[in-house]
Amino acid sequence: MTARVRWGIIGVGNVTERKSGPGFQRAARSELVAVMRRDAARAADYARRHGVPRWYADAGALIHDPEVDAVYIATPPDSHMRYTLEVAAAGKPVYVEKPMARTAAECEAMVAACRAAGVPLFVAYYRRAMPRFVKVKALLEGGAVGEPRAVVVRLQQNFAPEPGAALPWRVRPEVSGGGLFVDLGSHVLDLLDWLFGPIVEVTGAAANQAGRYPAEDLVTATFRFASGVRGVGLWCFSAALSTDEVEVVGSAGSLRFATFNGQPLKLTTAAGTEEIPAPYPETVQLPLIQTVVDALTGRGMCPSTGESALRTARVIDALLEAHRRGST
């Protein structure tokens, strides 16, 4: 155990500007000491703007920096496995962005490498620690809806890449593992794993209906949790209207909430509907980062690990298997 964790970041892109990067500086017993980006000028610029002492254009140099205790991998998913294996080989803890990797097989290799090296592996499914969703969990466990029976997920957007521009990596399967379902749907599935336990049975289908990019843009699913709760999900990224809602149906009421914005939670019982404020924090990953630091300094546990993220990857693989096979 260490009294303080000195972090290095591989890949200081957009996600590190506000969602995650400042969290390593604001968490207790944590500091950000080095960053890396292949574009040296951008790496230097990030370090200057965020007050980080050192920057690198080579990941290996950051990984082997003796003053870096742990590494956060914030690159696109196609390099998550490679960098995780390198960090584990260097004997350092890993915190990797979500989705954990492109496939469950890559995730399994990451878990095995960290286990063999004796280092912990954490994954940035940060909703497991956000106060908003901690409140959701507390309401459910406190019997606010009675006994949970079912959960219904709907996420609809209309995503159309700019004509003539390069496709974003999030809809290039060779980089991301799929489309926006992998990027955004993984957050929802992981959150449900945390709320209701592992998904033990899943069926569904995926399709590319709009033909705007190579990845799936529609996924439908039915699933069963180890707790006995049943679920259905619809993820559509070529829809005219936007919807972001999870509804938990219970024996005494229902709880509705958005996954990707800070609208109030809506608890409906025989007494009526109550709106419960549950805003997003300014730095959304800070609460989870604090649990990672607490785990590394012997002061607590992190709820999002390689093992829990692997379960989510397996569910995604099951839902996309036929579509991936047809696409290739």
Tens digit of each residue's pLDDT (9 = 90 or more) over 128-165: 999 999 999 999 999 999 999 999 999 999 999 998 89
pLDDT of residue 164: 87
In this structure, the answer to whether residues 138 and 276 fall within a common structural domain is yes
On whether both 187 and 256 belong to a single domain, the answer is yes
Q: Decide if 301 is inside a domain.
A: no
- The amino acid that residue 33 corresponds to is V
Strands 254-257 and 265-269: antiparallel
Residue 40 lies in a domain: yes
Position 327 pLDDT exceeds 80: no
Report how far residue 139's alpha carbon sits from residue 10's, in angstroms, rounded to the nearest whole number: 37
Whether 271 shows a pLDDT value over 80: the answer reads yes
Same domain, 38 and 109: yes
Q: What is the pTM of this model?
A: 0.96
- Pair (16, 103) in one structural domain: yes
Q: What is the bridge-based pairing of β-strands 148-158 and 230-236?
A: parallel
Report pLDDT for 1.
Answer: 66
Domain boundary among 124, 159, 194: 124
Q: At which of 71, 100, 124 does a domain end?
A: 124
Report the candidate in 99, 280, 318, 286 with the shortest Cα–Cα distance to residue 188. Answer: 99
Cβ neighbours for 172, distance < 8 A, ≥ 6 positions apart = 213, 214, 215
- Are residues 88 and 168 part of one domain? no
**How far is it, in rounded angstroms, from Cα 110 to Cα 90?**
14
Same domain, 145 and 46: no
Assess if residue 298 is contained within a domain: no
Q: Which of 124, 156, 183 is the last residue of a domain?
A: 124
Calculate the CA dihedral of residues 291, 301, 64, 183 and round it to 10 degrees: -60
At 275-325, the pLDDT tens digits run 999 999 999 999 999 999 999 999 999 999 999 999 999 999 999 999 999
Number of structural domains in the chain: 2
CA gap 61, 69 in Å, rounded: 13
Host domain of residue 98: 5-124
Query: What is the domain-level CATH number for residue 57?
Result: 3.40.50.720
CB neighbours of 258 closer than 8 A, spacing ≥ 6? Answer: 244, 245, 246
| 139 and 34 inside one domain | no
Instruction: Say if residue 328's pLDDT is above 70.
Output: no
Burial class from Cβ neighbours inside 10 Å (0-12, 13-18, 19+) for residue 90 reads middle
Q: Is residue 325 part of a domain?
A: no
Going by their DSSP bridges, the two strands 5-10 and 30-36 should be labelled as: parallel
Going by the DSSP 8-state scheme, the letter that residue 127 receives in this structure is G
* 238/161 Cα distance (integer angstroms): 11
Name the packing angle between helices 186-196 and 131-141 (round to 10°): 40
Q: Do 239 and 158 lie in a common domain?
A: yes
**Residue 312 CB-half CA count within 13 A:** 29
Helices vs strands, H then E, count in the chain: 11, 14
pLDDT in tens, 45-65: 999 999 999 999 999 999 999
Residue 139 and residue 267 share a domain: yes
